[in-house]
Amino acid sequence: MKNALFVVVAMAVAAGLLAAGWYASAPQHLNRAAAAAVGAPGDAAAGRIVFFASGCGSCHMSPGQSDLLRIGGGRPIQTSFGVFYAPNISPDVTDGIGAWSAQDFARAVLLGVSPTGQHYYPVFPYSSYRRMTPTDVRDLYAFIRTLPAVSGRAPPGAPLLPYSIRRSIGLWKRLYAGARPFPDAPGRDAAWRLGRYLVEGPGHCAECHSPRDILGGLVAHRRLTGGRSPNGGSFAPDITAAGLKNWTTAQIAEALRTGATPRGDMFEGLMAIVVRNLGELPDSYRDAIAEYLKTVGAEDAPSGGVARQD
């Protein structure tokens, strides 16, 4: 009798834990304010700036060519959690996102959820993109709609267990993509605040320039202090104030524009593509990024993300 009771209690506890996990891992929806904001007409010209600030073409441009605006996807991204392929995000109705609504797009960018309600894997840097304003996401959507449609679909990814259980990504988000707003920054000017937004949000600098733990989440107290790129290849250096102590603000801004460092060499690899994107931004944006980086320490950089309200 006691054994039977123990089994019943154990099964009840297990069922409760499974139910709690299922609830906690559920894909999120846009809140009402964000859904309304992204539903308004977007500004494609402003969206062009967001496109390059976010580095969309760096991952999504079609292989075998160098046009950042041909975003047919297909680039393999090898990680320690499996291989993934950047999808087609061109306006192609069949193979890209041409059939998506603005709300579908915003839910993907801000929350990492597909139009069919599936979690995207965090090789898509939504844990940083969550900091983008709905207005910027709306404008980005408007700009992407103006780009050439590219046919063809990327191969399916091959994530390793337990990440191949897509629902488990919802629990990962609870740990690493929580709703933490930017901390207050009294005394900081508008340029610094713009720099913080660009670095921590659309620019998703921490995704490469921070170490990761065993689950692939960014190590919060070492944010921006350097780390392996997501593909496990090159090492992205420390870009906190300590790491950039020998660089002036002007030198940082110039390196982001041209790729030339104060030592006289040039950025290579992924950073060379980043510079191609940043070179399309207004000078004031690169200056703002430089101003922020020259002041930020690992303990100051925010560790989570939030879908912001205008």
| Assigned domain for 307 exists | no
Quote the number of domains for the chain.
2
Task: Give the Cα separation of 44 and 299 in Å (integer).
Answer: 36
| Assigned domain for 281 exists | yes
**For residues 218-243, average pLDDT:** 85
Task: Give the Cα separation of 93 and 151 in Å (integer).
Answer: 9
Phi, psi of 173 (to 5 degrees): -65, -35
Q: Name the band, by pLDDT with cuts 50, 70 and 90, for residue 161.
A: confident
Same domain, 245 and 140: no
| Assigned domain for 241 exists | yes
Same domain, 73 and 133: yes
Q: Which of 74-78, 175-179, 289-293, 306-310 has the highest mean pLDDT?
A: 289-293
Same domain, 49 and 153: yes
**For residues 14-27, average pLDDT:** 55
Residue 117 contacts residue 198 (beta carbons within 8 Å): no
Q: Name the band, by pLDDT with cuts 50, 70 and 90, for residue 256.
A: very high
| Assigned domain for 32 exists | no
CB burial of 104-126 (b: ≥16 within 10 Å; e: otherwise) equals bbbbbbbbbbbeeeebbbbbbbb
Same domain, 204 and 281: yes
Among the candidates 153, 176, 199, a domain finishes at 176
| Assigned domain for 278 exists | yes
| Assigned domain for 18 exists | no
CATH number of the domain where residue 268 is located: 1.10.760
pLDDT of residue 308: 39
Same domain, 54 and 142: yes
Residue 92 contacts residue 103 (beta carbons within 8 Å): no
CB burial of 3-12 (b: ≥16 within 10 Å; e: otherwise) equals eeeeeeeeee
pLDDT of residue 2: 56
Same domain, 194 and 167: no
- Closest by CA to 95, choosing from 157, 156, 158, 154, is 154
Among the candidates 176, 199, 222, a domain finishes at 176
306 burial (CB, 10 Å; 0-12 / 13-18 / 19+) is: middle
Same domain, 157 and 205: no
Among the candidates 114, 148, 176, a domain finishes at 176
On the question of pLDDT at 39 being above 90, the answer is yes
Residue 128 contacts residue 198 (beta carbons within 8 Å): no
| Assigned domain for 64 exists | yes
Same domain, 120 and 218: no
Q: How many CB atoms are located within 10 Å of the residue 69 CB?
A: 17
Same domain, 94 and 208: no
Domain assignment of residue 107, given as a range: 43-176
Same domain, 150 and 267: no
What does the pLDDT look like over 272-304, one tens digit per residue? 999 999 999 999 999 999 999 999 885 555 554
Q: Name the band, by pLDDT with cuts 50, 70 and 90, for residue 310.
A: very low
Q: How far is CA 213 from CA 74, 103, 292, in A?
A: 27, 32, 25
What does the pLDDT look like over 171-220, one tens digit per residue? 999 988 876 677 788 889 999 999 999 999 999 999 999 999 988 899 98
Tokens at 159, concatenated = 């994530």
Same domain, 125 and 47: yes
| Assigned domain for 310 exists | no
Same domain, 134 and 213: no
